[in-house]
């Protein structure tokens, strides 16, 4: 958002938790954004944004508070289908904080059927939502059969993208998981790091811990038999490990 605002000559007001990694703050500062560090979590930052929007007329680009980010995330589904010759994998594993990516993927599959890019009634992927054991509101709500996920108290994880104690789109994530006959599970921060290293050393990709979380989830689901050895599985890595360089220092 800071980058696009700079390119358009617009002011940007950014609120983030005071303890986020330096790289997140450095980029916003470089782009000239008005950065405010908040003693709290991302939901506390969202509250500050809403206050500013009411007082100053800002356009709120918080997760699912505007339509465009979801439409952008949706393109991942189109790219995936195109790269697989207009077929879909059996399973998609996605690390979900606010969940826009998971929701966008599910929206894309529905649209592609409607447009005729995919055959009607195609078997869609089983959607797997991955979170951290230190912040797993969607996993808890899903397994308790709830439509909405209550605030997760004391949220803590090394993966800042997963440190979302309450999500506006909780019901949309849970709906996509259920409609796809998918599942949801939490993995430890230690497992995230172990599998992030495995991804880096075997693929040459330096993933964020969120990406490592997906591989940790796949290994667990393979072990339980929920994923079969011959099924086609796609993992989404949602960031670069460079943002989390301090974890490897």
pLDDT of residue 249: 86
Question: Would you say the CATH fold of 68-247 matches that of 2-56?
Answer: yes
> For every residue of 159-219, which 3-state class applies, written as one string?
CHHHCCCCCCCHHHHHHHHHHCCCEEEEECHHHHHHHHHHHHHHHCCCECHHHHHHHHHHH
pTM metric for this prediction: 0.93
Any idea which fold 68-247 has?
Rossmann fold (3.40.50)
Class of CATH domain 2-56? alpha beta
97: which DSSP letter?
S
pLDDT of residue 151: 96
Question: CA-CA distances (angstroms) from residue 202 to 21, 51, 58, 93?
Answer: 26, 46, 45, 19
- Strand 34-38 relative to strand 91-95, pairing: unpaired
pLDDT digit string, tens, across residues 190-202 = 999 999 999 999 9
pLDDT of residue 158: 96
Q: Write down the domain spans for the chain.
A: 2-56, 68-247
Residue for token pair 């599942």: 183
Two tokens at 49?
A: 């944004």
pLDDT of residue 246: 92
Low-confidence ranges of the chain (pLDDT < 70): none
Residue for token pair 């172990």: 194
Closest C-alpha among 94, 134, 53 to residue 235: 94
Element (H, E) at 91: strand 91-95
pLDDT of residue 121: 86
């Amino acid at each position: 958002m800071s980058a696009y605002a700079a390119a358009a000559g617009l002011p940007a007001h950014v609120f983030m938790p005071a303890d986020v990694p330096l790289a997140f703050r450095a980029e916003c500062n470089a782009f000239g954004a008005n950065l405010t560090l908040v003693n709290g979590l991302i939901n506390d930052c969202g509250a500050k944004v809403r206050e500013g929007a009411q007082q100053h007329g800002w356009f709120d680009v918080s997760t699912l508070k505007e339509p465009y980010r979801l439409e952008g995330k949706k393109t991942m589904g189109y790219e995936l289908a195109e790269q697989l010759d207009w077929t879909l994998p059996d399973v998609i594993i996605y690390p979900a904080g606010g969940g826009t990516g998971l929701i966008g993927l599910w929206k894309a599959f529905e649209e592609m059927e409607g447009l005729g890019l995919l055959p009607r009634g195609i078997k869609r992927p089983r959607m797997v939502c991955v979170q951290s054991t230190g912040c797993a509101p969607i996993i808890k709500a899903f397994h308790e059969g709830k439509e909405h996920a209550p605030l997760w108290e004391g949220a803590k994880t090394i993966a800042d993208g997963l440190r979302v104690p309450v999500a506006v789109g909780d019901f949309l994530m849970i709906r996509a998981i259920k409609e796809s006959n998918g599942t949801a599970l939490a993995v430890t921060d230690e497992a995230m790091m172990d599998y992030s290293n495995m991804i880096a050393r075997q693929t040459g990709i330096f993933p964020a811990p969120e990406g490592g979380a997906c591989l940790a989830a796949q290994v667990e689901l393979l072990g339980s038999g929920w994923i079969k050895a011959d099924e086609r599985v796609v993992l989404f890595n949602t960031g670069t490990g460079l943002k989390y360089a301090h974890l490897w220092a």
